[in-house]
């Protein structure tokens, strides 16, 4: 028999869509929380359709939906109707955590703000996800992570190669780390509630997480730093660039930092002439002559395959890295042995499923169940709230569920 799960008594409402907010509840569900996902009766969560959208990798199963919404129950609820909102308020009165990323104007219109729902359940943790923050002129603006996390924060502009246009982000690239932030806020608020009995309003935004991700460079703005040398040096630091082997795979030398490591790299490349070239003798000289060094490295790396080079560098003690491809992950022993991908729920149509990055030794997680069908548990949840079979049928007939 499975041991008691940490959040087994925790009742959570997922009143959100897409990724960042709902995934925070998935993490809670992994540790036992009873999560009910609230979806509109007509369209449901638009993320249900992501894996089938043009541009997504083709598969026979709804892989992203199962990954990000496992271990939940789903109720279809028309929040445009007062009857639907009445049912939601009943659920709020019994919940411990309420997670939402509904647009702020919609929350105000439907009386689903923190101030509204705190009167129903003052001990509840209300976790809010927005695109640009709870305050300010853009508080009501909607946005996906490709815009609010990646572009608006400055990340997009910071990471593109010199002379190249800014590059778009991958879908969900900012959503998933933002979900971890929201989860951390919820768990911190639960600890506070355990000490004080008080509920909390927890909130974060896609933009805040993007700014945080860029902060090693972005903090310089708030220190009145001079960025001229930073930007000028991007194309002259050989460790910041990528080098293509003759099989089309790319290598990076970001971890080659000391003079000894640079010397080992030159030897491994079978270029002893570079060892005695005064242009490359010190870190300052290598930066000053970065374009020339880059040209030499490009020419050398192009002579062999990536596998050949990685073997040579391993023997020589050069801390080179192969730029990974997602196709490599299924056989990557680091992924498997460190539970970055875990056995997928039965019925999901997959062998393994990527897991959130939290690992707490000795803390049990539930046996994973597939993500729910839209409204799969509507009748079940309403019966638990005290509705009769006849009342449930009438709500369905009226389009409330």
For residues 372 and 167, the model is more confident at 372
The verdict on 18 and 43 lying in the same domain is yes
Q: Tell me, what's the pLDDT at 2?
A: 56
pLDDT above 90 for 22:
yes
Give DSSP secondary structure letters for 252-287: E-TT--SHHHHHHHHHHTT-GGGGG-GGGSSHHHHH
Q: Is residue 200 part of a domain?
A: yes
The verdict on 65 and 131 lying in the same domain is yes
Q: Is residue 169 part of a domain?
A: yes
The verdict on 77 and 162 lying in the same domain is yes
CATH of the domain at 139: 3.40.50.10540
pLDDT above 80 for 302:
yes
Q: Which residues contact 245 (CB under 8 A, 6 or more apart)?
A: 251, 301, 302, 304, 305, 306, 308, 309
pLDDT above 70 for 352:
yes
Average pLDDT over residues 306-333: 95
Quickly list H helices, 197-235: 206-213, 215-218, 228-233
pTM assigned to the model: 0.92
- Whether the CB-CB separation of 96 and 186 falls below 8 Å is answered with no
Domain that holds residue 309: 233-324
Q: What radius of gyration do the chain's Cα atoms show? A: 26
DSSP state of 203: E
Query: Which one, of 327, 396, 304, 377, lies nearest residue 69 by Cα?
Result: 377
- Taking only the tens place, the pLDDT of each residue in 76-102 is 999 999 999 999 999 999 999 999 999
DSSP state of 148: I
The verdict on 303 and 166 lying in the same domain is no
List residues bridging with 38 in a β-sheet: 75
- Joined tokens for residue 332: 């990557």
Domain count for the chain: 2
Q: Which residues contact 211 (CB under 8 A, 6 or more apart)?
A: 153, 154, 218
Q: Is residue 355 part of a domain?
A: yes
199 vs 28, 93, 195, 238, CA distance in Å? 17, 13, 11, 52
The verdict on 292 and 387 lying in the same domain is no
The verdict on 182 and 299 lying in the same domain is no
Query: Which one, of 215, 236, 243, lies nearest residue 290 by Cα?
Result: 236
Q: What is the largest distance, in Å, between two alpha-carbon atoms of the chain?
A: 88
- Whether the CB-CB separation of 60 and 51 falls below 8 Å is answered with no
- Joined tokens for residue 392: 């449930």
Rounded CA gap, 255 and 265, in Å? Answer: 11
Rounded CA gap, 255 and 313, in Å? Answer: 12
Q: Is residue 330 part of a domain?
A: no
The verdict on 285 and 340 lying in the same domain is no
Lowest mean pLDDT among 150-164, 255-269, 303-317: 150-164
CATH of the domain at 279: 3.30.1540.10
The verdict on 207 and 140 lying in the same domain is yes
pLDDT above 70 for 1:
no
DSSP state of 372: P
């Amino acid at each position: 028999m499975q041991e008691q799960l940490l959040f087994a008594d925790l009742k959570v409402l997922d009143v959100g869509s897409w990724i960042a907010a709902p995934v925070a509840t998935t993490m809670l569900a992994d540790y036992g929380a009873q999560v009910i996902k609230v979806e509109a009766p007509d369209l449901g969560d638009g993320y249900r359709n992501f894996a089938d959208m043009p541009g997504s990798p083709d598969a026979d199963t709804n892989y992203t939906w199962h990954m990000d919404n496992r271990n939940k129950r789903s109720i279809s609820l028309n929040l445009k109707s007062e009857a639907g909102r009445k049912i939601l308020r009943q659920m709020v009165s019994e919940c411990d955590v309420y997670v939402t990323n509904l647009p702020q104007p919609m929350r105000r219109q439907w009386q689903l703000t923190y101030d509204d729902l705190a009167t129903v359940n003052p001990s509840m943790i209300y976790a809010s996800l927005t695109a640009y923050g709870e305050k300010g002129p853009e508080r009501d603006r909607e946005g996906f992570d490709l815009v609010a996390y990646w572009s608006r924060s400055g990340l997009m502009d910071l990471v593109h190669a010199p002379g190249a246009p800014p590059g778009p982000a991958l879908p969900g690239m900012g959503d998933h780390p933002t979900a971890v932030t929201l989860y951390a806020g919820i768990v911190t608020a639960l600890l506070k509630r355990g000490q004080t009995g008080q509920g909390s309003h927890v909130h974060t935004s896609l933009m805040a997480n993007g700014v945080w991700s860029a902060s090693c460079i972005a903090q310089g703005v708030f220190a009145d730093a001079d960025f001229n040398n930073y930007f000028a040096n991007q194309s002259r630091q050989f460790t910041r660039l990528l080098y293509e082997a003759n099989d089309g795979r790319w290598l990076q030398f970001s971890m080659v930092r000391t003079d000894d490591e640079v010397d080992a790299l030159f030897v491994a490349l079978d270029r002893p002439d570079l060892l005695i070239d005064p242009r490359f003798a010190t870190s300052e000289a290598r930066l000053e002559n970065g374009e020339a060094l880059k040209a030499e490295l490009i020419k050398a790396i192009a002579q062999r395959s990536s596998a050949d080079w990685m073997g040579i560098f391993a023997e020589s003690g050069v801390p080179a890295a192969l730029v990974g491809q997602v196709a490599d992950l299924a056989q990557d022993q680091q992924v498997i042995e460190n539970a970055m991908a875990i056995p997928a729920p039965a019925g999901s149509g997959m062998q393994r499923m990527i897991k959130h990055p939290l690992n707490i030794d000795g803390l049990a997680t539930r046996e994973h169940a597939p993500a729910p069908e839209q409204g799969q548990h509507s009748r079940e949840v309403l019966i638990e709230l005290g509705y009769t079979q006849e009342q449930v049928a009438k709500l369905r007939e009226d389009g409330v569920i």
